[in-house]
Amino acid sequence: MPLVFREDLPMKLVSILCAAALAATVGAVRAQDAFPSQPITIVVPFAAGGPTDTVTRLIAEPMSKELGQQVVIQNVAGAGGTLAAGQVAKASPDGYTILMHHIGMSTAPTLYRNLDFDPVTAFATVGLVTNVPMTLIARKDFEPNTLEELVTYVKANKDTVVYANAGIGAASHLCGMLFMNAIDTAVTTVPYKGTGPAMTDILAGEVDFMCDQSTNTTGQIKGGEVKVYAVTTPERLGNLPDVPTTTEAGLPGFQVGVWHGLYAPAGTPEATVEKLSAALQKALADPTVIERFAELGTAPVAADQATPAAHKTYLADQIALWKPIIEKAGVFAD
Ligand code: MLT
């Protein structure tokens, strides 16, 4: 906006005001140019050691290299990921506190009746990261051996079997809900702060089964530490070629992939968001990241999806996609 001064102001005062306005403008531009001038924190909305944490840590190092600043991971677990999202929504919009979140960002607005943030207006989308397949697994000594047997067993023992998840809004919650809907049987669920700790209890035999991302289950499946029934993708996974798809194993409608994205608080300068996005794109093209993702059953999104615009469109589409499915399932939280 142009500066207009009253005609009767002394020239000296006009010069001082002009200098101050110029300094403020230059300062703001420099602050953006200088970004990042301090460490960046990526908030992970689930416990350390779980799948969201794993994906975030894999991209943090190459992003840090690209940005020339330390990238710190902070785990803020609780309320199926909505606790952390609510915190980052209210963080200073300067690009130094950002959020990694997954499909839960698109299911939470329907699942939660009193969400304290709007996923669409509270954030600036930075870019999509990856789309992780899910695997239906169980403790090693759980009786059923195939998906077909699992369905029969769960139906027959619905009052005693226990499903683990990471709370309402988590991918493991969504996947469990889809499974229970598909077989028209609800079972007891135990919520954890993430599927990292839930996996610990599966391994200890404390809970029976779980639907969780391949980034958290591949090691245990390959090591024979858990039983696996199916992957929730249309095709088998390259890293787990012997595991049938849900369609092959008898539940054709039961498919879900867990997409992840990076978010900055709304109001973050566009130039800052673009720098974060460019660093994300660089990280996703890193051969070590691609290799590690493949070992865990996933892949980075295409470069044109790791952009603010593609992510924004995808988020809106996913909110619209999941709304009627969740409403039909009738699962809500306050
Ligand atoms: C995690 O990181 O613990 C998971 O993403 C939780 C989930 O969404 O199931």
Q: What is the pLDDT of residues 65-119, one digit of tens each?
A: 999 999 999 999 999 999 999 999 999 999 999 999 999 999 999 999 899 999 9
Residue 36, preceding peptide bond in cis (omega within 30° of 0): yes
Specify the pLDDT at position 329.
84
Specify the pLDDT at position 142.
98
Instruction: Tokens 């498919």: give the residue.
Output: 255
Specify the pLDDT at position 331.
77
Mean pLDDT of all residues belonging to the chain: 92
DSSP state of 304: G
Encoded tokens for 41? 């924190």
- Tell me which of 57, 213, 232 to substitute to probe ligand 1's pocket, judged by most ligand atoms within 8 Å of the beta carbon: 213
**Distance from the CA of 52 to the center of ligand 1, in angstroms?**
6
Q: Global pTM?
A: 0.90
Per-residue pLDDT at 10 exceeds 70:
no
The CB of 78 under 6 Å from ligand 1? The reply is no
d(CA 72, CA 39): 7
**Distance from the CA of 83 to the center of ligand 1, in angstroms?**
13
d(CA 79, CA 45): 9
- Ligand 1 atom closest to residue 80's alpha carbon, by position in its atom list: 8
> What is the mean predicted confidence (pLDDT) over 230-256?
96
Model pLDDT for residues 12-68, shown as the tens digit of each residue: 544 544 444 444 444 445 555 699 999 999 999 999 999 999 999 999 999 999 999
Specify the pLDDT at position 253.
86
> What is the mean predicted confidence (pLDDT) over 238-260?
96
Long-range contacts of 157-162 (CB under 8 A, 24+ apart): 158/185, 158/186, 158/187, 159/188, 161/187, 161/188, 161/208, 161/209, 162/187, 162/188, 162/189, 162/190, 162/207, 162/208, 162/209
Residues 6+ apart with CB under 8 A from 187: 154, 158, 161, 162, 163, 180
Specify the pLDDT at position 38.
98
Model pLDDT for residues 214-239, shown as the tens digit of each residue: 999 999 999 999 999 999 999 999 99
The CB of 133 under 6 Å from ligand 1? The reply is no
CA 57, 285, 98, 177 dihedral sign is negative
- In the chain the domains, ranked by start, together with CATH numbers, are 36-132+257-329 (3.40.190.150), 133-231 (3.40.190.10)
> What is the mean predicted confidence (pLDDT) over 142-158?
98
The CB of 46 under 6 Å from ligand 1? The reply is yes
Specify the pLDDT at position 311.
98
The CB of 301 under 6 Å from ligand 1? The reply is no
d(CA 281, CA 291): 16
**Residue 248 contacts residue 256 (beta carbons within 8 Å):** no
> Quick count: other Cβ atoms within 10 Å of Cβ 28?
11
